[in-house]
Amino acid sequence: MSELIVSITVKTVIISALVGIVGATIGFSVMAQENTHHSVSQQAGTIRFTEDVKSADMVIGKSIGGKARQAALLTNVSGPKCRVKVWRDVDAGNGKSDLVVDNFSQPGACSASTPIPDTASGRAIILDDVAPNVFSYTSVANRIVTFDDLSVAALGGDAKTGNVVRPVSISQEDWDDKRPQTVTLNVSSNNKELTKYTKNAKFVGQTKFVNYAQAAPNQKYVPPAGTPGLPPDPTPVQIPAITVTRTSSTSSTAYGGLREGIDFAFTGGQCAGGINSVGTVKWTATSPSTGVASKSVAIDAVLGAAASTGTINGVPNGTTGTVTVSLTCGTNKDVTKASTTYVQTLPATVLTVKAGATPEKHVLTWTDVSSLVATYDLVWSSDNGLIASGTPLVSDITAQTYTTSQPSGTTYGATTNYRVVPTVNGRGAGSDTASISNAWPATPTPGTFKWTVVSGTKGSADWAYATSCPAGTTLYNKMYKSLHWPSKSYDATSGVWDDTGWVTTTARANYTPTGQYQDYPFRYSVQAMCKSASTGNTSAVKTVQSPQFDAGYLQPAAPTWAGPATMKQTCRNYYINWPSGCSPKVDGIILKYTTYCPAGSDLYDTYALSIKPSGENTGMVQFNNGDGWEWQKGYAKADRMAEYRDAKYMCTSPWNHSAWSKTTTHFIEVIDP
* Mean pLDDT for all residues in the chain: 81
Same-domain status, 15 and 104? yes
Specify if 46 maps to a domain: yes
Query: Half-sphere exposure (CA, 13 Å, Cβ side) for 588?
Result: 26
Average confidence (pLDDT) over 169-176: 84
Same-domain status, 11 and 104? yes
Distances, alpha carbon 208 to alpha carbons 18, 83, 397, 646, in Å: 21, 16, 50, 133
Same-domain status, 321 and 373? no
Residue type, 334: D
Same-domain status, 358 and 289? no
Domain boundary among 438, 468, 491: 438
For residues 268 and 310, is the Cβ–Cβ distance under 8 A?
Answer: no
Specify if 222 maps to a domain: no
Same-domain status, 535 and 633? no
Average confidence (pLDDT) over 606-625: 82
CA–centroid distance for 68 within its chain: 61
Note the pLDDT of residue 591: 84
Specify if 226 maps to a domain: no
Note the pLDDT of residue 160: 86
- With a cut of 80, say whether residue 586 has pLDDT above it: no
For residues 336 and 237, is the Cβ–Cβ distance under 8 A?
Answer: yes
Q: Model confidence over 339-363: pLDDT tens digits?
A: 999 999 999 999 999 999 999 999 9
Specify if 109 maps to a domain: yes
pLDDT confidence band for 673 (50 / 70 / 90): low
Domain boundary among 318, 344, 370: 344
* Alpha-carbon gap, residue 254 to 520, rounded angstroms: 78
- With a cut of 60, say whether residue 107 has pLDDT above it: yes
Biggest CA–CA distance in the chain, Å, is 181
- With a cut of 70, say whether residue 14 has pLDDT above it: no
The H or E element that residue 55 is part of is helix 36-55
pLDDT confidence band for 40 (50 / 70 / 90): low
CA–centroid distance for 232 within its chain: 64
- With a cut of 50, say whether residue 491 has pLDDT above it: no
Tell me which range, 23-37, 38-52, 195-209, 456-470, is most confidently predicted by mean pLDDT: 456-470
Same-domain status, 467 and 566? no
Put the strands of the sheet holding 491-497 in their side by side order.
491-497, 473-486, 522-532, 542-545
Q: Model confidence over 42-52: pLDDT tens digits?
A: 777 888 888 88
CA-closest candidate to residue 440, choices 417, 462, 401, 470: 470
Same-domain status, 516 and 581? no
pLDDT confidence band for 26 (50 / 70 / 90): very low
* Alpha-carbon gap, residue 246 to 252, rounded angstroms: 10
- With a cut of 70, say whether residue 84 has pLDDT above it: yes
- With a cut of 70, say whether residue 10 has pLDDT above it: no
Same-domain status, 263 and 164? no
Listing DSSP states for 427-479 in one string gives EE---EEEEEEEPPPPPP-EEEEEEEEEETTEEEEEEEESS-PPTTEEEEEEE
Listing DSSP states for 172-209 in one string gives HHHHH--S-SEEEEEEEBS-S-TTSS-SEEEEEEE---
**Number of domains making up the chain:** 5
Question: How far is the first Cα of the chain from the last one, in angstroms, to the nearest whole number?
Answer: 155
Q: What are phi and psi of 6, to 5 degrees?
A: -135, 165
* Least confident span in 166-170, 488-492, 546-550: 488-492
* Alpha-carbon gap, residue 73 to 358, rounded angstroms: 72
Tell me which range, 77-91, 319-333, 375-389, is most confidently predicted by mean pLDDT: 375-389
How large is the C-alpha radius of gyration of the chain?
57
Q: Model confidence over 540-554: pLDDT tens digits?
A: 999 998 888 888 888
CATH number for position 414:
2.60.40.10
Q: Model confidence over 626-669: pLDDT tens digits?
A: 777 777 777 777 787 888 899 999 998 877 888 999 999 988 88
Average confidence (pLDDT) over 289-306: 86
For residues 155 and 145, is the Cβ–Cβ distance under 8 A?
Answer: yes
Same-domain status, 355 and 254? no
CA-closest candidate to residue 30, choices 47, 20, 17, 48: 17
* Alpha-carbon gap, residue 245 to 138, rounded angstroms: 35
Note the pLDDT of residue 354: 97
Q: Model confidence over 216-230: pLDDT tens digits?
A: 344 444 444 444 444
CA angle 186, 188, 193 (to 5 degrees): 160
- With a cut of 90, say whether residue 330 has pLDDT above it: no
Specify if 553 maps to a domain: no
Same-domain status, 460 and 571? no
Q: Are strands 24-29 and 10-12 parallel, antiparallel or unpaired?
A: parallel
Average confidence (pLDDT) over 183-187: 85
Same-domain status, 377 and 467? no
Listing DSSP states for 300-369 in one string gives E--SSSSPEEEEEE---TTEEEEEEEEEEETTEEEEEEEEEEEEEPPPPP-EEEEE-SSTTEEEEEE---
Residues of the chain by 3-state class (helix, strand, coil), percent to 5: 5, 50, 45
- With a cut of 70, say whether residue 152 has pLDDT above it: yes
Note the pLDDT of residue 220: 40
Same-domain status, 359 and 290? no
Note the pLDDT of residue 296: 95
Domain boundary among 309, 327, 344: 344
CA dihedral 140, 143, 147, 150 (to 10 degrees): -10
Question: Which residues 6+ apart lie within 8 Å of 290 measured at CB?
Answer: none
pLDDT confidence band for 177 (50 / 70 / 90): confident
Specify if 117 maps to a domain: yes
Note the pLDDT of residue 31: 35
Q: What are phi and psi of 402, to 5 degrees?
A: -160, 140
Distances, alpha carbon 226 to alpha carbons 167, 214, 329, in Å: 15, 21, 15
Average confidence (pLDDT) over 32-50: 66
pTM here is 0.52
Note the pLDDT of residue 209: 67
Specify if 219 maps to a domain: no
Go through 462-499 and write b for each residue having 16 or more CB atoms within 10 A of its CB, e for each that does not: bbebeeebbebbebbbbbbbbbebeeeeeeeeeeeeee
Q: Model confidence over 108-128: pLDDT tens digits?
A: 988 888 999 988 888 888 888
Residue ranges making up the domain that contains 367: 351-438
- With a cut of 90, say whether residue 511 has pLDDT above it: no
Specify if 223 maps to a domain: no
* Least confident span in 150-154, 454-458, 521-525: 150-154
